[in-house]
Structure 1
Amino acid sequence: MTHISAGANSGASSADGPRVFISYAHESDGDTHAERVRALWILLRQHGIDARLDRPAAERPQDWAAWMQREFEAADYVLTIASPAYKRRAEGAEEPGIGEGVAWEAALIKAFVYANPTTWHERILRVVLPGGSREDLPAFLGGHTVTHYTVDPIDFSGAEKLLRYLTDQPYETEPTLGSRPHLPPRGDTTATGATGRAAAGNTFNGPTAVQIGDGNQQTNNFG
């Protein structure tokens, strides 16, 4: 797989590895979820993935709508991080004025899903972190029928499947296709008589009728 930035349309692959945009929501949990997202971001970058998160961008003034659109369009992959607030905001069920950034990102993602109904899941990846659930992903991302990546713990072992996909290094690969074997047909080994019919043979070993008495009475011995 060649990793192509979706927004570039230039045919050039990413120079230092795939570029990834992380889409997530801040939860009202004392930043526990946000810190887990940050740990995933750091882990990905440590392993050659050009992962992008809003934290560095927040250190300076931004037009956030423009920033999110640039990051989404430039990303080879978009990681959607499951959480209750993410689901509410992506599905438009949040209170007005809360989580507008996630709602904007979700609109971009939803438009991509709609435009690419059979291949969107190759670029938009569903991720569940410790303490999370795939039930907390928006319904337009496919429910139980679409692959999700559980990263637990947030280390190399926990993220191995995700890292393998992002870097195009699958664990299980198809064996080399070998040559077709030569399998001769069965020969004609049936014994035939002069008339061409198979020679008869009495091979019946079942129960026999035994005559007892005057010939008018019979009993079958099935013992």
Structure 2
Amino acid sequence: MSQDTQTQFVEHDNSAAPLVLISYSHDSDEHKNWVRELATRLRQLGVDVLLDQWELGLGDDIPKFMERGVSNSKRVLMVCTEAYNRKADDGKGGVGYEAMIVTGELVADLGTRKFIPITRQSAETKVLPKCLSTRYYIDFSKDNSFEEKLEELARELHSAQVFKKPELGTNPFTTKSDQASPSVAISNEEVLDNNHSPLETYETALNLAKNNDFAEWTKFVHKHKNAAEVALCAWRKNNEANTPKVSKDLPSFFCSAVEIYNHLFAIILAAIDSDNERFKNQLSLIDWIREPKGWIRSGYTIWVDLPDLVLSTFQAIIGSFTLHRQQPKLAYNLATTQISERYHSHEKDHLFLNYRITGWVESLGGNCKETDTFLKKYFNSQSWLQTIFGGSDLLMGAYGAYYSFLNILDFFSASKEGLLKSDRDRDSKNRDLPRTPLFPAKIVDEYQHVATSLIAINNEFLHEIMEQNNITSSDMESDWKKWLKHCYHWIHQVYTPHARMLLPHADLPKLLKQSSGDLNIL
């Protein structure tokens, strides 16, 4: 969370170890030893392995370990012995070590290349579980070929195949006039439909949602998603050589890159306004935005992580809009969606606790003040967005309310974890509090009352979260006083010391009313 004014040029070599989970049946001690040896050798070859023999202890929840392992891992190795096949084909459930089996339902649900069958069988004809019957497998049945198969498997996990697909040549039978000359630089206009404004895109998407035309809606989303991916790659190619040297220049520099996604942002705002529940959940776009097709994951961090700046803007727009439209559950779902750490993909946390997304964006030099500057600059330059919100004051007020909302979730999480029980204000457990940036402290006075009003309007929902996380009123009162001390300490460290800065949610305990719901934050 650097406050440096110089840009942090950190070279990223994309060398993070792939995380894999090994699923197997505990056929015998000999088989368990063999699986452990396989896991050990893979780790020696730079593959991070999750194995129950290393990760689980007495009293640990086996199904939960398996569920998290499958979710967090890049690949899942399924050691298919005869016993494993029988248990996998039996379906969901089971007790003891049988809970370590990846079932057919799970493979079908995920429907990806994530699962790699490894055969370890005595019969000449190898058999796989029904859910994997059509998949390419690797045979480890013969011990004398272990090293050869191990290398093949490790290459697959590292995406380092021996034979690379050759480049496609040109057609030798066409004349020169038939061949289009390649374009060195591609502009946004060449890939984006600039005949329509984001406001028109919003209206088109809103009509599709109101007519419940899900098929056309999906095509519409994919069209703009694919166009944005191509345009972002082209924008990087055209602008990478002109990177500013100081972080204060980065917000203006990257604004046009984020504008590439305006049409996609407009579509999601239309989904929220549609009153059609089928269209409202668009959180799958987070993965699309964060991993654009064709994006190069090498180079300086401020370029490698540019999609995270797009995602940061996305969550700020959508979160602000959902509170503005008095749909706090959608803001909650967005804020608590699981986001992986960029360079530790097996580690996941709620979006509101992912500081690289909410405030300390690497493409802005890892400086939260520059992120705040960027978001305000972007909001103030987008007339289409101000129109949908009903004016710049309502947009900026909603922005303050959303980041207040994130700070409140941060408070509830810290209170539930017991981080505010220490009598010392800067105890080692809570010296990093708050974990979300306090951008609302810097919004101008005329926007403060809008932000405060939006928090007050959604107070019953906030009380539901408090109750469902077993935070009592007395705990709320005492912990909130400590929380505000942390918040104002943060403000005076990050912004000008002793400046007069207000928080729209400073009187939160007075705003909360009793309600009910199922909103467990952790």
CA distance 1:39–1:130, change in 2 (3 Å): farther
Contact between 1:86 and 1:137, CA under 8 Å: does it hold in 2?
A: no
> Which secondary structure does the structure 1 equivalent of 2:21 belong to?
strand
Q: Residue type matched to 2:107 in 1?
A: V
CA drift at 1:131 = 4.2
TM-score of the aligned structures, taking structure 1 as reference length: 0.60
How many residue pairs are counted as aligned between the two chains? 159
| Counterparts in 2 of 1:27 and 1:134: CA distance versus 1, 3 Å | farther
Q: 1:15 to 1:112 in 2, by over 3 A?
A: farther
Q: Which amino acid aligns with 1:159?
A: L
Asked whether the 8 Å contact 2:23–2:77 carries over to 1, the reply is: yes
- Name the CA distance, whole Å, in 2 between partners of 1:82 and 1:132: 12
Match of 2:97 in 1: 101
More helix by share: 2
Unpaired segments of 5 or more residues in structure 2?
A: 1-13, 176-522
SS in structure 1 at match of 2:54: helix
* Alpha-carbon distance change, 112 to 58 in structure 1, aligned in 2, over 3 angstroms: closer
Q: For residues 37-64 of structure 1, what are the alpha-carbon distances to aligned partners after superposition, in whole Å with 9 as ceiling and x for unaligned?
A: 1111011100010011111234443122
Match of 1:27 in 2: 27
Aligned partner of 1:147 in structure 2 is: 136
Q: Which amino acid aligns with 1:24?
A: Y
Map Cα deviations across residues 113-133 of structure 1 (whole Å, 9 max, x no partner).
32344xx2x111100237477
Which of 41, 44, 54 is the aligned partner of 2:42?
44
Report the residue type matching 1:90 in the other structure. Answer: A
The CA deviation string for residues 103-155 of structure 1, in whole angstroms up to 9 with x for no partner, is: 46423xx33432344xx2x11110023747774431111x2x32001234475
**Contact preservation (8 Å) 1:128, 1:150:** yes
Distance 1:42 1:179, change over 3 A: same
Structure 2 equivalent of residue 76 of structure 1 = 74
Cross-structure match for 1:171? 162
Report whether the alignment pairs 1:111 with 2:105.
yes
> Residues of 2 paired with 1:59 and 1:100: CA distance?
13
Q: Distance in 2 between matches of 1:134 and 1:146?
A: 15
Q: Bigger relative contact order, structure 1 or 2, given CA contacts below 8 A and separation 6+?
A: 1
Distance change in 2, residues 1:17/1:87 (3 Å):
same
Change (3 A) 1:57 1:116: closer
Cα separation, partners in 2 of 1:103 and 1:61, compared to 1, 3 Å: closer
Over the residues paired in the alignment, what is the CA RMSD in angstroms?
2.9
Contact 1:20 1:76 in 2 (8 A): yes
Q: 162, 183, 194: which is aligned to 2:153? A: 162
Say which structure is richer in strand.
1
Partner SS for 1:158: helix
